[in-house]
Structure 1
Amino acid sequence: MTIKVVMAGATGWVGKALIPAILAQGDMQLTGAVARRAAGHDVGVATGGQPNGQKISGTLAEALSATCDVVVDYTKPVAVRDHAMLAISRGRHVVIGTSGLRAADYREINAAARANGVGVVAAGNYSITATLMKKFALMAAQYVPDVEIIDYASARKADAPSGTALELAETLSEIRGAPTALPTSEIYGHPEARGATLGEGTAVQVHSLRLPSYQLSCEAVFGLPEERLTIRHDAGTSAVPYVAGTLLAIRRVREFTGLVRVLDALMDETLSV
């Protein structure tokens, strides 16, 4: 069965890599694309390829007038929540690649998805190797409770921490033991220098760097007496690493109801995309 896809953020950094990938899949059909500034243009041309006759819509509401099974969102933090809720209300499954949502947003999206009988995948990073980095960090946390996260991104990235770092911190907080570091409440001087304390379990310190020359990197630093372990993922300058995981999510999102927030849950059964 062909999966009909609407892509929001078609002319963005990831969208330009994802559109031709969707068009190349034998089991997918692009039935809509959204990019406000490129509305009315051919999506193939607008993403650097050949004309394909598919016109770009200015809004998701307009694009949803076409038949579709899955909406993929790689837009902006200010738009993604409303996009997800609109798609869910129309009975569409959703794959969220945009970071910046808060825990309350995810709870609302999950409730709406369950009420409407659709699935949602929202991963902090759709890179297969970034997902493996997270899996390895979770393995390490079972043995080493002292861990902190350093999140690197370009000077222009608007959200902090990145979705990758936030998802990693939240998951680590659920499984790690008590750290030996002083809690921030006992720090003198400027406690904010210790970074953000994130996670609803045993919270994890996250430090976000925003500097020129970085694209996206994330590292989990573990410490024991007289030894350290660093598990790090570095992304290149293109969006190619995020394509395979997004295609996997598009294929799997219709299999469940409600929100799944981790790509590794979909990878457990297959690493082939």
Structure 2
Amino acid sequence: MSSDNQPIPVLVAGALGRMGSEVVRAINSSDEYQLVGAIDNQKDKEGQDIGSLIGLDPLDVYISSDFEGSLCSASQNVPKDGTNNGAVLVDFTHPKVAYNHTRTAIAYGVHPVIGTTGITSEQLDDLSKFAEKACLGSAIIPNFSVGMVLLQQAASAAARFYEFAELTEMHHNRKADAPSGTCIKTAELIEEQRSSFNKPLVNEEEFIKGSRGGCRSSGLRLHSIRLPGLVAHQKVMFGSNGETFELSHNTIDRSAYMPGVLLVVKKIRLFNKLVYGLEKIL
């Protein structure tokens, strides 16, 4: 709970989506949080109770497509005494709006917790400066799974010993961005240990463009698969003479992300800057 033992007020953007509705259920299941806003752009659901729409009892929180209006209402809970408490926005929407949603939330004094991927490194740098100027705890989390954080740490450690590595990520076919933000984050952590990978030994030729995946400046190759039936899966494969070393993580159900979401919502109000990655909060 907050410092005055009041539940943490939370808005959910993308509340009717698969991740958003799971967040609403998680918020509703704990006395430490209070749902104060449900934002979604499904016009035919406007004004309807979010609880009833996702199979819960009525929550007296109604769907709104007015993003800024919802933030403005929630910002009334932000104290003016510099204690950096206030409302938290959990956003699972679309890569095209993730940057603007984050910046707008900071402008309104609402702590953004962004699970939407697709924010570029340039946008991340801009948001970091904006959050620091506002002294407002903000989080961009490519993946809320504790298991994924452990995989990334293991991959980073292994990168010190292997010069050849490739990454594969697999998601459902409604995911808009590729490669996933999680996969990019994993590649970045690997590259912190070694600047160059996969020195070419032959002149490769792709008969179908993209067959070898996307190649980062470090030489790391990233492959994306999109199929119905998948949730979220990632594999990192290292190779050396006479051996391969594989790390993999599989998300079976979206409920796996909820402990991480709730943890970030609870802790982000203690920060006064933007944090990128769940490992910075654990």
Q: Considering the TM-score relative to the shorter chain, is it more than 0.5?
A: yes
* Structure 1, unaligned runs of 5 or more: 268-273
Alignment of 1:242-257 (within 5 A): 242-257=257-272
The two structures have a TM-score, normalised by structure 1, of 0.89
User: What's the % identity of the aligned pairs?
Assistant: 30
Tell me, in whole angstroms, the C-alpha distance in 1 between the residues paired with 2:25 and 2:227.
31
Return the alpha-carbon distance in structure 1 between the equivalents of residues 246 and 48 of structure 2: 46
Amino acid at match of 1:249: V
Contact 2:8 2:32 in 1 (8 A): yes
Asked if 1:138 is matched to 2:151, the reply is no
Distance 2:262 2:246 in 1: 29
Task: Write the deviation string for residues 57-114 of structure 1: whole angstroms up to 9, x where unpaired.
Answer: 2122121113352111011111211111110001121100011111111112111111
Q: Does 1:208 align with 2:215?
A: no
Shift of 1:197: 2.2
Deviation at 1:154, TM superposition (A): 2.4
Structural mapping, 1:59-138, within 5 Å: 59-64=66-71, 65-66=73-74, 67=77, 68-138=86-156
1:183 shift after superposition:
8.6
SS in 2 for 1:194: coil
Worse overlay, 106-115 or 202-211: 202-211
1:55 maps to what in 2?
Answer: 62
* Aligned residue number for residue 28 of structure 1: 33
Does the CA-based 8 Å contact 1:10-1:47 persist in structure 2?
no
Secondary structure of the equivalent of 2:281? helix
| Length-normalised TM-score, structure 2 | 0.87
Work out whether residues 149 and 207 of structure 1, in 8 Å CA contact, stay in contact via their aligned partners in 2: yes
Q: Does 1:148 align with 2:166?
A: yes
Aligned 8 A contact 1:93 1:254 in 2: yes
Task: Say whether the 8 Å CA contact 1:172–1:204 is kept in structure 2.
Answer: no
Alignment-derived partner of residue 241 in structure 1: 256
Shift of 1:121: 1.2
User: Which residue identity does 1:244 align to in structure 2?
Assistant: P
Whole-angstrom distance in 2 between the partners of 1:78 and 1:178: 31
Contact 1:8 1:75 in 2 (8 A): yes
1:7-38 deviations in whole A, cap 9, x for unaligned?
11111111111112112222211111101213
2:94/2:176 contact within 8 Å kept: no
